[in-house]
Homo-oligomer: A and B are copies of this chain.
Amino acid sequence: MKKVLIAGATGAMGQKAVDLVNSLDGFEITAALAPHLTTENKADYHLAAEVKTYQQLAEIDDNVADIWIDFTLPNAVYADVKYALEHGMKPIVGTTGLTDDQQAELTQLSREKRVGGLIAANFGMSAVLLMKFAQEAAKYFPDVEIIEMHHGDKKDAPSGTALSTAKLIDQVRPAHETNPAETESLPGARGGDYHGIKIHAVRLPGYIAHEQVLFGGDGEALTIRQDSFDRQSFMNGVKVALEKVDQLSELVIGLENIL
């Protein structure tokens, strides 16, 4: 039975992590960390009677957990992960806000301490697999465009996931020029351009978060699509991380790198 500490256990994502671990065979929550968490209110957060509660790092008992799940805040995550690594707990981190330098430093620390772990910006399995498959397909189908669709309130376009997908494709696809003579009778009709990869952003009420990568070749097409209906989907990736973290010998950045 693996022992798990959940940092940020009272937040929206933290609570989903609590429910996930409570539902899994082979894992148990032994500790939880959150600023206002107490012995009295822990049941409200679906934490069992035997779970130890802490409000700050300094209070945490030694050997209380094997794995550290972190859904906290940008200003807390660096100290959290450092603490986890130094105390032999494998971090699984969904909190954003670590700088590249901090990630590099923590990775170095993980090597010294020989403690594996994972930091991921996106724990949605469908989005992560879409990016992985899109990168692979682009080697064979250099003609590719991306369409992402989000709810009407999203202000920025294109989405971060769409742009990340384009960057991954750009790293591998053969030198390529798409239809240089094309013209637009409505400016923007051909979409945004990232190194020759066209990205189209749709914004409509009702939609949630969806991405399609469209590949075309002589006489055929390949389309990869993912739909995120609910942030619950992040827990699919956390579950995969829990199953794989024991096989990691250092801190890995990106869920796709442990699949």
Contacts and interface: CB of A to CB of B under 8 A. Distances in A.
B190 A222 contact: no
Give the 6 A-B residue pairs with the shortest CB-CB distance, closest first: A186-B192, A204-B216, A219-B230, A189-B192, A220-B233, A219-B232
A193 B186 contact: yes
A190 B203 contact: yes
Contacts of A206: 143, 216-221, 227, 229, 233
Nearest to A132: B136
Interface residues of A, number: 76
B214 A186 contact: no
Copies of this chain, complex-wide, total 4
Contacts of A136: 129, 133, 259
A225 B226 contact: no
A194 B185 CA distance: 10
11 contacts: A126-B221, A127-B220, A188-B190, A188-B192, A206-B218, A206-B221, A206-B233, A219-B232, A220-B230, A221-B225, A222-B224
Interface string A123-155: 011110110010011001101110101001111
A25 interface: no
A140 B127 CA distance: 12
Contacts of A220: 124-127, 206, 226-230, 233, 236
A96 to B, nearest CB: 18
Given A129-B136, A188-B190, 4 more contacts: A130-B222, A191-B202, A206-B221, A220-B229
Do most interface residues of chain A lie in helix, strand or loop, or is the interface mixed? mixed
A181 interface: yes
A182 interface: yes
A223 B224 contact: yes
